[in-house]
Structure formats: C-alpha cells, structure tokens
Structure 1
Amino acid sequence: MSHSQNKAEKLLEINKILTQSLKIDEVLHNVIQSASELIEVSDVLIIYLYDENTNTLRFAEGEGVNKEKLKNIHFSPGESISGKVFIDQQSKLFSSEKEIDMYMKNMNKRNYEAYYEGVHKRKIKSAFCVPLINKNRCLGVLVVDNFNQDGVFTEEDMQVIEAVADQSAIAIDNSNVYRSLKEKNALLTQSISIHNQFYNLIIEDGGIDKVLALLETLIHSTVTYHSTLFYEEKGTFFPIVRGKDVLGVLELEKEFESLSNMDQIAIEQASMAIALELIKKNALYEKELHFREEVFNQLLEGLSKEDLQRALHYMQWDETWTAQCIVIEGDRERLWEQNNFIEKEWFVRSIEQITNAVTVHSFLFTRAYQLIIIVPKIKENALEQIIRKIESEWGEKKSILYGIGRETAIGDLSISYKEAVRSVGYAKANENAHIVEYTKLGFERLLQGVDPAEIEMFMQDKLSRLLVLDPTFLKTLNYFIESNKNHKKTAEQLHIHPNTLYYRLRKIEEELKININNEKDWIDLVIATRLFVSGNKKY
C-alpha cells in the first residue's frame, strides 16, 4: 500500500472517529491525536477556538505544550499567526523562521509570556496554520509547529491537515450545537424549578417578603424592594413591570447584566411574582374604594336612621359631627392614566396616608378621575394642612386642582359635595385658579348654572369694541379694576404717566359708549372683564 493510500484510509478512519462523540473535549482530543498521527514530524499541535463573548481566540486543546500556561492566551483577531489566519480564513505554510517571526511580532506582551512558557521556552523553526471553517464561519485555527528544523513541513502536509480541519470543524460545530442544546435544556429545567418555587409562594399567599427571601437564597445576594413609580436608570435596578407600567423596583447588589443566566432568570421570576402580588393587592384596594363610594352614595341619597348608624360605624364617625368635602382633579392631565391601576393606587394611598396623618377620621374614595375627601370638622385647620402636605408631596409631579365645599352637617353632605364639584369645575375653567373654596367665590357662584354661550355673548356685548384695540387698553382696564379705581396705584403698576392713564380710560369710555362713574356701567364692565380675563391667562 502506497503512502498516499495509507493517508487516505487514515483520513476515512479519522472521519469516523470524529463523528463518534458529541462531547467537545473528546472531539478536540481526537482532532489532535489524528493530526499528530498524520504529521509525524510535528513537535506541537494547538487548537485555538473563537470565543464570541470576548472576541478572542482561546486555547482549547494541544499536544507537546503546557496546557495550563496556554489557557492564559487571548489572541485578538489579527494577532500573531493564529489571529491572522483566523481573519484571512486561509491556510498559511511558513517557508522560514524569519517569516514566522514577522507574523508573531504583533503578539502582545501578556500573550507572548503565556505562549513562551506554554511551549517550554522554545523557538519555532517550522510551522503551518489552517483555519477551522464550517458553513462559511471560522470556528478557530489548528497550528502545527516544529522546533528543530527549518522548512520541515510541505504543502502536502498542510493539505492533509486541511482535510482533517474540514472534518474537525463539522464535528466541533455539531458538538457546540449539542452543548448549547444541553445547556438550554438544563437552563429550562432550572427555570421551571425556579418558576414553580415562586408560583407556590403566590398560591400560599406568601407575600412580597417571602418572595424576596427566596430570591436572596437563590442568587446568594441581598435584594431590596422599592415601592415606587419613579427610579433612576441604574444597572443595579431591575424594574417590576406589567406591560409598559412600572410597579416597583428591585435593587440588586450587583449589576443585572453581570449576573449568571440562572440568577437573571431567578430575578425575572421574582419580579413576575411580585407583580402578581401587587396586582392582587390592587384589586382588593379597588374593591375597598368602590365600597366606600357606595357608602357615600347612600349618604347622599338619604338613609334610614338604622342604615345611617351602620354607615357611620363603618366610617368611624359621630352623627353630631360636621364635615367638608374636597374634590381633587388633575389640571391639564388626569391624576392617573386610564389603565394604570398601580399608578392610581400609589397616588391614592399616598393621599390617604397624608389625610390619616392629619386626621384619622378622613374618608377618601375615587369617582372616575376625581379623588374625593370628606374631612370631619374635629380638628382646626385640618383641611389646610391636608392640602399643604399634598402639594409638598405631589406639587412638582402633578398639577392638581382643589374644589372645596362648605362645612355642613352629615345629613347635608350632598350640598358640600356639589359645591366642591362646582368649585373644581371653576378651577378647571380658569387658569389662574388652583384652590377654589365655594364660600369665597363671588358672582361666579351665580354663573355656575348659566349656559356658557350666554356668558360668551355677554362678554362680547360689553367688550367687543375694546378687544379690537391694542391689548394695552384691556390690560389698563384690568389693573384699574384690581386697584379699585385708584388712578395713582394703577399708573405706578403700569409704569405710565397719569395723563397717559387718563387718556386710555377716556378712550375705553368712548369705544364702549359707557361712563365709568355710572354704577351700572361700572358693574357690567367689571363682570365682563373678570369673566374674560379669567379665561385668558395672558391677561
């Protein structure tokens, strides 16, 4: 049998050997053994495989080397012989020691020290390197070295190893696929186990504290839960979400991305468990708010003495008390998003904590996008304290309007409620109003039930000729009204000469065909101006 026939048969045998195992360590060992048997003059054989995570070539297997030392090598693509062949994806046979030195000169110091120790401090005389390619993807390289003679390897030697490399690349790829599937299966099994542990806690109504305790046990690290909708974007913060809504945050000791896959899965499962707990608590709180609204509705409709006593017992109120109603509403935006129940609960609970801190007998519920608070008059300035604390807590986050009804007996709460609704309605219609008490409204109270179109016609009838003039005339009139017809004060506020003020006032009288000193004309003018200015922020 000829030498070439012997090598051909050996290659067929190698192909069988390489397909016998899917374990990467066995595959790499078989590749080295096969190459060693085919190239008898080789002193050293090394396989470097590409690591996608580090974007480097790492030592995988070898013969005639110190494996522990070579494990410290991290060749970048393009670095040294292995890196260049990996980039070019072309085999390279070196014709001289000088050419080898030229290819190796860009090896960094750390890699060179590891390599030099790994090959037992010897200098390469002859070498070739072939890429391990499968499906147009380079998986690594196979290096064959001789440390004794120059030009000891031939093109035929390299072609033989190329054939081995082709078979090896397929075997390595299959092994990687097998390992990946095995890892994914193990990951899936562990993930299911973790999921079941958290699921059982939820079924047992373990609560958030037990979920956190289990999570800390699984990841061997401390975790803190923050019940907040607002948080800083940090790697150690993991948001608890439902859809697009943030329900809270888990604060970790280490950045989430730096943790193992299993730790990340545990955190994700804990997050889902906490989300379910929060949603469950939210559903119960929504029921409680709905029940409170029903109790209030019954108070508004009127109850029998027996039913009234039951309602007051639930509210922990005394029938001799008086109370005031506050209606809270968002100015330009709603107090909470339509489908974000957690945001609503967070806001309402916060207001409830504030009211309870001022007076434990406050009664709070929601209606549509309004928050209604009934404050019994058992503590001086309770209402003012509540509003001040709400503004302190939420003033920078939300634009809130307050409508306040009069103090009434419990049996007349419907009156205070209707007044609070009218007051907050006035606040929404007038951009300069923020907190509106019904008792402090002037003629505006009389206009609550008037058709807006009728009000608009009244303003046009009284001011239309003035509105087409320069805006300074309306501004002058408004300041004149605010100063209660004080000429000197009006001129000073407008920074104009008294004669200029006199001219403007005469011009206003001429255009509107009125006399400012006529009581009826003056009253009509004041009402029309106040109505117009209240709806136009620039004045």
Structure 2
Amino acid sequence: MKAFAYLLSQLRQYFADTSFSIWLQGSRDRHLQLYFLFALHPEAENFIMQKPDEVSFASGVDRFRLDEQAGLYYLRFFFAEEGQAVVMLENSESIQPSLTPWQWEILWLAFQLFIAEKTIQTKSQEWTKLLQGIHSISATLDVESIIREIIGNALAVIPAADAGLLHLYDEEIDRLVPKATVGFHDTVYQNFKLRSGESIAGKVFQDGQPRMYRTNPETSLAMMDLSYDNFHSLNDAKALHNLSGLLCVPISLEQKRIGVLVLHQFHQENVFSSYDLALLQGFADQTSIALQNARLYAESRQAYQNMAAISEQLRMKHDDLVKRNKIHESIKQLSLQNKDTGTIVKALGRMTAKQVFFADWLEQRYYPADSSIMFSWDELSTLLAGKRQPVSIQLVSGHKNKRQLCYVYPLTNGSVFLGCLIILIKDRHLSELERVTIEQGSAVLTLDLVKKQSLSSVLYKRTHDIFQELIASKGSEMLERARAFGLPPHGDFLVVYAYLSPSKDLSLLEANIHRLVTRWKWEFANNQVLAYGFHNHVTILLTASNSLEVKEMIERLSDAVQEWELEKEISLSIGAGSVVTDLEQIGKSFEEAKKAAHYLANRGRSGVVRYSDLGVNRLMLNQSREDIDAFIHDVFAPLWEGQDKFQELENTLLTYMKCNQSPQQAARDLHIHVNTLYQRLKRIEELLAIDLHHPADLLKVQLACHLREE
C-alpha cells in the first residue's frame, strides 16, 4: 500500500535509529492488533511487542496525543468511525519523540490514508464476493452448492463470523430446518428443527426483523427459549459456550418469508457492525434469488417433463389404437367368416404370442382338442363360481414342484357361464394390448357360443316335434318316421326323462339344458339314438343290449346328478322307463320315464329312479301332493292333536310298521318291553279308531306310514 509506505518513511525520518511497532484497532476490532514491527536489536523487540493499553477517546476532542509509560512512548492517533492507531517507541535517552504540530498532522493524515486504503480494499473484496454470488446464481442451478458458496462469501467479507447456517421453512412439519451449513458438523441436519418464534432464528422468521448480537451474554440471553432437544442438537454440531456473537437476517421470496440466514462468531476477535448486518441481508437476498430461480427452473423442467410424458402417452395411445384397430379387424374377419371355435382360439394365441386354451362349459370340450387338460370341470366350477372377472391362478406340479401362472378369463352371457379362456403367462398380469386382444376375442367366442346355443334350441324343438309324432304314430307311418331317426323296427329301447327344477332365469335354464344334452350325447355316444331339451326337461332315447348295460347307464346317470348337485344351481330329477323291444312301445317307455321323473320332482327330490322300482308308488303318480298330504293328515290327526302327549305313540306306530308288524323287533328298536308295546298299540287303535288285525285298516295305516317316508 502506498499510504503505509509513506507512513513508514515519515516514522523513520522522525525517529531514526529507534525501534518501534505499529498497533491498529479498526471499527470491527475488539482490541488493538500488532500490524508492523521494527526492532534494531532483540531486547527492543521484547519491549515494543508488549500490547499497549487501550484508551477510549471522545469523538471530536483529541485526534492524537503522546503518552509515556514504563520506558515506552505511545503516539496515539484517533479516528472517529475508523478506530485508532498506536506507534509504540523504545524509550531512548538520545532520542526524544518531540514532534511539531505539523508533523503530528502529517502522521495522522498518513494513518487516515492508510485506513482509507484498507477500507477500499475491504469494500473491493466485498463487491468481488457479491459479484461471485451473482455469477453463481446465473451459472448453475445446483441450489445446495449456490447456497454454500453464498455462505462462504459472506464469511469471507464479514471477518467477525466463522460459521453459518441457512434455515428454510418446511410447511409440512411447520418448522425451520437446516438446508446448508459452514463450520457446523453435519449432525445438525438430523434433529435441529425450530418453531416459528423460537430462539433468534425463529423470531427473525416470525417478524422479519434482522438481529445482531456482539457478546456471549447477550447472545445466550436471546437463545434462552431454545428447546432442550434443539440446544443439544446444535451444541453437538458446534460447542455453543464459545459463541460470542451472531447475525441473523430473514430470507424472503416476494412478500413471503421462506427462511433465515445466520452467521456465528466463535473464535474471531472482531465484532459485528451494522454494516455487516446490511451486507448479510444482501447475501440473503442473493439466496432468495437462487431459490426462486431453482423453483422456476424446477417448475419449468417439470412442465417440460409433463409435456414430454403427455406427448409420449399420446404417441403410445396412437400406436395402441392402431394395434387395437388391427386386432379388431382381424377378429372381426374371423367372425364374418364364421370361423369355428378352434380357429378363433389359435388366432388369439398368435396375436398374444402365448398359449391360449378355451374350455367350452356348455359342451364340456377343450380347444385345441389335443391340449393338455389343466382343470377338471369340477375345478373350473369351483374356481369360477359366481365370478365374472378374470383371475390369475398359479398351478403347481406335485411331481417336480413346477409352477405355472395362468390367466383365466370367464365368458358369460348375462348370468350364464359359457366357458373360459385360459392363457399361460409369466407375469401376474397381461399387458394392456394382450388384455384387449383377449377381451375382443372373448366377445367373438361368446357370440359364437350364443349363436350355437340358439341353433341348438331350434334343433331341439324340431327333434321334440318329430319324437312326439313318432310315439303318436302307428303302423307304416311309425316305421317311416323311425327310419328318419335310423331306428330299426325291433330292438331294446329305453327312454330317460330328466326334469330340471323351474328357474326364473330362462337363459340359465336354457344353457343348463344345452349343457346336459351335450354331455349325454358324448356320455352315451354308443347307445343314444336322440337327445334333446325342451322347456325344462331333457329326453334321451337309448338302446340297451342287456340288463347289465341298463344298470351301468343308471349308475352313470346317478353320477351326473351328484356332479350337478355340487353346482347348486338347478335340481335334476331323472326318471327311466322300462326297456321295450318294439317301436310302438317307445311311447310307453317315454310316459313311464316322465312319470318317474315327476314323482321325484313333486316330492322336491333329485336323483334317478326307474319306473319299475316305484312299486306301490305308481298308484300315487296321478295324485297331487295336496291329496297325499290330506290322506296322511286324516290318518294321523288324532295323534297330532296333543303333540307332546302322543308323539311317543306316533313314533311307536311308525317303528312297528317299519319292522313289518314284528312285536319283538319293534320292542327292541324302541328299547321297551313287548308288553309295553302291546299296551301302546292298544292305545293307538283306540285313538285312530282302527283294528290293526283288520286288513283294510292295516292297509290304510301302512300306506299312510309309507307315504310319510316318501
């Protein structure tokens, strides 16, 4: 510096051959600081390095003065706002520090020029750091690095500070949280969270007023309301007992406060000034600009990403629509060309590049025909009972513990289950395009199945009419109609009549009839002559070569009823007529089968019964359930008048009849003495006004007991 060189030249001129030191105390300094030392010999250095006493001065009174103490001379120069300077001279007998007023003025002005040069240099550094902050804001969008650089610049131009923290307000937790730090341990990020109004930073954030503290006592007092957890969190990051000063300014975005910037003094000797506070506010404003730029950039980037995402979605949707249109056209052509079910299933496999199978529930067939059967019909019934949405199922092979995922897509027509598509997959779900392919393919298959079912209904009606004409015709006319069915004039014929319980859902009833006819066609492929459904019953005409074959047919029909009952949709009552050997007797077998089926249905029972096995029940076939119940009531009414009193007698009568009127067997079953049985029977005869030894009375009671069991 030129001013300091001039000052030294004047001091050497005035005090030649004298050791001296220069001490300075600027406006920010707490104490005098040694700035320059000139020692002619080692002993002199020990003297002139001793820190001079600090002397306060009144502004505008003294500008300079001479003091003498302990063998040293002190030339003191005072500057109103800039501080003071002390030239400490070795006390030498040969040299007396006598200065003319003009020389005192020369030295005072030299010191003032020197202090002015230092101030200009400091201001230049401040502007350089401010410009660096502005450049950082425009050069990068890395908010964290910008903020750390801004704090570093603030520490560089505010020498009294040696640590800094930047807090931003987090709306989600309603707290000020550290976002950048210099001079603190990183643990401060973990638990240090200030409420609005808590400690110095919280108050500055709350009211927006900057605050400055120059000493440890006043700083500690201002931080008295810091919570226990926050104190220990901050103290762990930096020992607070060394804190001797603090600057805190708000950070605002437009009119909204978003955080605070804090500088701390732990080890510096300088003191904070009002200028430092204003300077820190400038850095805080830079931080606000950086944060706003980052927010705007983030919003712009997000908007760009959103636009790019929307554009990509539109492109994908366009491609998807094109693919869907191709799929739709391909499947539509299959429908228009009346392709069979197998062809449609194969086409779906090609389009999805997966193995696709179709289980036709109504006809109980798999497509392709040579596909490995993955599910039994009972399993499908259990898996898809009441389901109308696709399901993912994991198949596990017990032999090698091999696992295979499959996607089962049910096909329905209203409430009617028609079948399902089974697609082997690797992931848990199909892709959107694969799902669309399956949905459109299933629609075509559903239409094909409904069409097939409708055609079957028409054929069933026609077959029903022809069969009714056959059994109503005689002679040559019957032979002519029999030839239409491929029936020989003579043979062993058996008619089976299945009655399906009434259903409010006619489409479901129709589907079950179609399914039952289809099953019996392949179940009795070697024996059936015709099979059709009409309204709520199914008729099948079978040929039988011997009684064993008939027995086997009845057993297979019983198995079918048991499987049917598992689904719990519609009850099935089946009657079988007698085996006849002449065409003209087919009508008789039909009527017998019909009566046997209605016998079960009228009693609300499912199962299979042969007409020949009805026995005495044939006499009751033309009786309504109401007439039968009335007859039973007439016989047992006297025993029912006092239900608690005669229940024992009623049970005795039923057991006695069941034991074929054997007193000994009945007494054993009732666990009573035979004499007690006779007494009860006597009482029963009195109540019912009958004589069990009279054939007519005995028959009446036997018939009533039998009908009760039916």
Contact kept? 1:403, 1:420, Cα under 8 Å: yes
**Which residue in 2 is equivalent to 1:350?**
519
Residue by residue over 1:285-332, the C-alpha shift from the partner in whole angstroms, topping out at 9 and shown as x without a partner, is: 223322221211111321562x534432332211122423221124xx
Instruction: Confirm or deny that 1:40 pairs with 2:134.
Output: no
Instruction: Confirm or deny that 1:413 pairs with 2:594.
Output: no
Q: Secondary structure at the match of 1:206?
A: coil
Instruction: Confirm or deny that 1:338 pairs with 2:514.
Output: no
Alpha-carbon distance in 2 for matches of 1:241, 1:86: 53
Alignment of 1:174-189 (within 5 A): 174-189=307-322
Alpha-carbon distance in 2 for matches of 1:492, 1:313: 62
Instruction: Confirm or deny that 1:498 pairs with 2:674.
Output: yes
Displacement of 1:168 in angstroms is 4.2
Instruction: Confirm or deny that 1:223 pairs with 2:393.
Output: no
**Which residue in 1 is equivalent to 2:478?**
308
Alpha-carbon distance in 1 for matches of 2:474, 2:444: 44
Alpha-carbon distance in 2 for matches of 1:334, 1:471: 36
Instruction: Confirm or deny that 1:275 pairs with 2:446.
Output: yes
Displacement of 1:508 in angstroms is 0.9
Instruction: Confirm or deny that 1:365 pairs with 2:532.
Output: yes
Distance 1:432 1:158, change over 3 A: closer
Contact kept? 1:94, 1:151, Cα under 8 Å: no
Residue by residue over 1:373-411, the C-alpha shift from the partner in whole angstroms, topping out at 9 and shown as x without a partner, is: 222343433332222113324414325322222334322
Distance 1:376 1:90, change over 3 A: farther
Distance 1:209 1:326, change over 3 A: closer
Alpha-carbon distance in 2 for matches of 1:189, 1:90: 53
Question: Of 493, 496, 515, which residue of structure 2 is paired with 1:323?
Answer: 493
**Which residue in 1 is equivalent to 2:654?**
478
Q: Secondary structure at the match of 1:406?
A: coil
Instruction: Confirm or deny that 1:392 pairs with 2:559.
Output: yes
Normalising by structure 2, report the TM-score.
0.52
Alpha-carbon distance in 1 for matches of 2:415, 2:624: 42
Alpha-carbon distance in 1 for matches of 2:412, 2:541: 33
Q: Secondary structure at the match of 2:457?
A: helix
Q: Secondary structure at the match of 1:375?
A: strand
Residue by residue over 1:333-391, the C-alpha shift from the partner in whole angstroms, topping out at 9 and shown as x without a partner, is: 459952134443223211222222xx434322112111112223434333322221133
Distance 1:247 1:459, change over 3 A: closer
Alpha-carbon distance in 2 for matches of 1:456, 1:362: 40
Question: Of 400, 423, 433, which residue of structure 2 is paired with 1:252?
Answer: 423
Alpha-carbon distance in 2 for matches of 1:397, 1:322: 28
Question: Which range moved further: 226-235 or 384-393?
Answer: 226-235
Instruction: Confirm or deny that 1:381 pairs with 2:548.
Output: yes
Distance 1:274 1:87, change over 3 A: farther
Q: What code does the residue aligned with 2:138 have?
A: E
Question: Of 95, 98, 114, which residue of structure 1 is paired with 2:180?
Answer: 95
Contact kept? 1:363, 1:374, Cα under 8 Å: yes
Query: Whose relative contact order is higher, 1 or 2, with alpha carbons under 8 Å and at least 6 apart?
Result: 1
Q: Secondary structure at the match of 1:253?
A: strand
Contact kept? 1:514, 1:521, Cα under 8 Å: yes
Displacement of 1:530 in angstroms is 2.1
Q: What code does the residue aligned with 1:230 have?
A: S
Q: Secondary structure at the match of 1:284?
A: helix
Q: Secondary structure at the match of 2:564?
A: coil
Alpha-carbon distance in 1 for matches of 2:174, 2:564: 59
Distance 1:183 1:472, change over 3 A: farther
Question: Which range moved further: 189-198 or 409-418?
Answer: 409-418
Residue by residue over 1:188-219, the C-alpha shift from the partner in whole angstroms, topping out at 9 and shown as x without a partner, is: 22112101111111222322222222222222
Displacement of 1:224 in angstroms is 2.2
Q: What code does the residue aligned with 1:274 have?
A: L
Alpha-carbon distance in 2 for matches of 1:214, 1:100: 64
Displacement of 1:512 in angstroms is 0.8
Contact kept? 1:93, 1:155, Cα under 8 Å: no
Structure with greater proportional strand content: 2
| Runs (5+) with no aligned partner, structure 1 | 1-35, 47-83, 106-149, 535-539
Alpha-carbon distance in 1 for matches of 2:179, 2:441: 57
Alpha-carbon distance in 1 for matches of 2:188, 2:358: 58
Question: Of 155, 175, 191, which residue of structure 1 is paired with 2:324?
Answer: 191
Residue by residue over 1:243-287, the C-alpha shift from the partner in whole angstroms, topping out at 9 and shown as x without a partner, is: 343322222221675332112211222222222232232233223
| Runs (5+) with no aligned partner, structure 2 | 1-133, 145-168, 192-282, 362-379, 385-390, 393-405, 566-570
Contact kept? 1:336, 1:343, Cα under 8 Å: no
Alpha-carbon distance in 2 for matches of 1:188, 1:91: 51
**Which residue in 1 is equivalent to 2:576?**
404
Distance 1:365 1:472, change over 3 A: farther
Displacement of 1:185 in angstroms is 2.9
Instruction: Confirm or deny that 1:449 pairs with 2:622.
Output: yes
Alpha-carbon distance in 2 for matches of 1:415, 1:230: 37
Alignment of 1:50-129 (within 5 A): 94-96=179-181
Contact kept? 1:324, 1:375, Cα under 8 Å: yes
**Which residue in 2 is equivalent to 1:523?**
699
Q: Secondary structure at the match of 1:214?
A: helix
Alpha-carbon distance in 1 for matches of 2:339, 2:598: 45
Q: Secondary structure at the match of 2:358?
A: strand
Residue by residue over 1:16-63, the C-alpha shift from the partner in whole angstroms, topping out at 9 and shown as x without a partner, is: xxxxxxxxxxxxxxxxxxxx99943437589xxxxxxxxxxxxxxxxx
Normalising by structure 1, report the TM-score.
0.67
Displacement of 1:176 in angstroms is 3.5
Contact kept? 1:95, 1:151, Cα under 8 Å: no
Alpha-carbon distance in 2 for matches of 1:180, 1:504: 90
Question: Of 460, 466, 469, which residue of structure 2 is paired with 1:298?
Answer: 469
Measured on the aligned residues, the alpha-carbon RMSD in Å equals 3.7
**Which residue in 2 is equivalent to 1:158?**
291
Displacement of 1:426 in angstroms is 1.6
Aligned pairs, how many?
413
Alpha-carbon distance in 2 for matches of 1:169, 1:89: 25
Displacement of 1:429 in angstroms is 3.0
Question: Which range moved further: 241-250 or 445-454?
Answer: 445-454
Alpha-carbon distance in 2 for matches of 1:501, 1:407: 46
Contact kept? 2:685, 2:691, Cα under 8 Å: yes
Distance 1:533 1:259, change over 3 A: closer
